[in-house]
């Protein structure tokens, strides 16, 4: 069986490379010609641990093309992995899905199974079927299925190859058999269901995880008011198997290309269907407020931001990726600059993407490392919990700073060690020192 993947972004490229790793002949297609050219030269369009090595290893089983014709004429199953970005009203822009579907339909001359892997609102498969029927030649049989992807950037390879579960929404035995064949070497439970259920499982999972993060952030605020410790609260809650410790890390909130857009989209779906999804509005609101709360913390010690210099450690929305889409760093740096401050920013992988998304600004200095970022800083702001930040030489850093303040938006430093060195340390949801 030959597999096709349309859209070679974070999800599509990992999908294509991992299916090749499982022994399938795969054709990966993207309409971005430069991306295809770079990939043919084994140059990755983004940072993902282990992906370069796996691409190299399976290069002979992976064909890369920018031609829709080449993929449609040569595969039995095609995975749609195109982007589904948010529109300004919170709903999902499905134009990339429609575009790819239309292109497939126009060329199709034999049976194909079209699989939604992108995260899409419930009932999107119905639209894919309608678009196919509009453009496809008569008497050509096709099917649509849903197989949402749950991988996380930073651990995408492991998540894809060893998933907790595989969700498949299908409408026929033929489609079921195809998926049984595709996933026969995966050691994970497969949930076969109807398409709407599969579509909802993905959105509901993301909305639930985002809500868990906003919930713990709400509790972190309570801890700050009462002197309790959010790390212990999270540990105490997380040991309960019904709750679990994951996604209970308080801080500056979730970002990335999934949670912010999926929460808003799910809320909109509820609204369109006349359902009250206000819980998700609160999830979103709590998350948005994390930025102002973080800025307030800076002001609590420095009073005025104007004319101050900030060493910004971490720009990606989480460690293990160079992705800055919806990253809190974009909003925090923008606020500081609006108030007249200067930022010396550093991230081990995300500098270029940040520069591209933020745009040129004379108030931003792109530092060589965390030491360069900390020079003459009035405060260090930790926005991503990269491992290397924990291992910094903090006595050296203290010497370089104008005032030794660290505002830890990710609770990633060893509080006792930092406080002993004489820093003013402001973590999230727990006591710090020096203020």
Query: What does the binding site for ligand NAD look like in residue numbers (CB under 6 A)?
Result: 6-12, 29-32, 35, 81-84, 96, 99-100, 118-119, 149, 151-153, 257-258
Name the token pair of 393.
């030489």
430 — phi, psi (to 5°)? Answer: -155, 165
For the CB of residue 84, give the shortest distance to ligand NAD in the complex, in Å: 4
Run of H or E residues at 2: strand 2-6
Q: Which is nearer to ligand NAD, 224 or 385 (CB)?
A: 385
Name the token pair of 112.
């194909």
Q: Which is nearer to ligand NAD, 123 or 335 (CB)?
A: 123
DSSP 90: S
Q: Which is nearer to ligand NAD, 259 or 294 (CB)?
A: 259
For the CB of residue 81, give the shortest distance to ligand NAD in the complex, in Å: 5
Q: How far apart are CA 47 and CA 64, in angstroms?
A: 19
Roughly how many angstroms between the first and final C-alpha of the chain, as a whole number? Answer: 64
Name the token pair of 309.
């210099």
**63 beta partners:** 27
Run of H or E residues at 405: strand 405-408
Name the token pair of 148.
């949402």
Name the token pair of 373.
């970022």
Sheet with 25-29, edge to edge strand ranges? 62-65, 25-29, 2-6, 77-80, 112-116, 142-146, 166-169, 190-193
Candidate list 18, 258, 343, 412, residue with the active-site label: 258
For the CB of residue 202, give the shortest distance to ligand NAD in the complex, in Å: 8
For the CB of residue 417, give the shortest distance to ligand NAD in the complex, in Å: 33
223 is catalytic: no
Q: How far apart are CA 55 and CA 46, in angstroms?
A: 13
Q: Which is nearer to ligand NAD, 8 or 418 (CB)?
A: 8
- Select the residue whose beta carbon is closest to ligand NAD and give its number: 9
For the CB of residue 336, give the shortest distance to ligand NAD in the complex, in Å: 27
Q: Which is nearer to ligand NAD, 83 or 429 (CB)?
A: 83
Task: Give the residue numbers annotated as catalytic, written as ranges.
Answer: 258
């Amino acid at each position: 069986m030959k597999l096709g993947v349309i859209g070679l972004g974070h999800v599509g490229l990992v999908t294509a490379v991992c299916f090749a790793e499982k022994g399938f002949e795969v054709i990966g297609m993207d309409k971005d010609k430069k991306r295809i050219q770079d990939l043919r030269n084994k140059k990755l369009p983004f940072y993902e641990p282990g992906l370069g090595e796996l691409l190299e290893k399976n290069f002979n089983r992976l064909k890369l093309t920018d031609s829709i014709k080449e993929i449609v004429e040569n595969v039995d199953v095609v995975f749609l992995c195109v982007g589904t970005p948010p529109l300004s009203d919170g709903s999902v822009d499905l134009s990339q899905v429609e575009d790819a579907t239309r292109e497939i339909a126009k060329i199709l001359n034999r049976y194909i199974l079209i699989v939604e892997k992108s995260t899409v609102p419930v009932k999107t498969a119905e639209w894919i079927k309608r678009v196919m029927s509009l453009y496809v030649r008569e008497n050509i049989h096709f099917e649509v299925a849903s197989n949402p992807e749950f991988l996380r950037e930073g651990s995408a390879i492991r998540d894809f190859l060893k998933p907790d579960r595989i969700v498949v929404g299908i409408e026929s035995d033929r489609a079921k058999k195809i998926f049984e064949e595709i996933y026969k070497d995966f050691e994970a439970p497969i949930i076969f269901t109807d398409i709407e259920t599969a579509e909802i499982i993905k959105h509901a999972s993301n909305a639930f995880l985002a809500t868990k993060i906003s919930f713990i952030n709400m509790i972190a605020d309570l801890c700050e008011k009462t002197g309790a410790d959010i790390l212990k609260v999270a540990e105490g809650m997380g040991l309960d198997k019904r709750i679990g410790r994951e996604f209970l890390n308080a801080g500056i909130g979730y970002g990335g290309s999934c949670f912010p857009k999926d929460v808003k989209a799910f809320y909109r779906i509820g609204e369109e269907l006349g359902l009250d999804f206000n819980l998700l509005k609160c999830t979103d609101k709590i998350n948005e407020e994390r930025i102002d709360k973080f800025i307030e913390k800076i002001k609590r010690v420095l009073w005025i931001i104007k004319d101050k210099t900030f060493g910004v450690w971490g720009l990606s929305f989480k460690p293990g990726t160079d992705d800055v889409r919806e990253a809190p760093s974009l909003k925090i740096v923008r606020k500081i600059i609006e108030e007249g401050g200067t930022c010396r920013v550093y991230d081990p992988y995300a500098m270029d993407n940040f520069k591209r998304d933020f745009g040129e600004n004379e108030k931003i200095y792109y530092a060589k490392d965390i030491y360069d970022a900390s020079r003459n800083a009035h405060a260090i702001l930790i926005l991503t919990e990269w491992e290397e930040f924990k291992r910094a030489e903090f006595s050296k850093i203290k010497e370089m700073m104008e005032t030794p303040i660290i505002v830890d938006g990710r609770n990633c430093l060893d509080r006792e060690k930092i406080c002993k060195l004489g820093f003013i340390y402001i973590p999230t949801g727990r006591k710090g020192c020096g203020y």
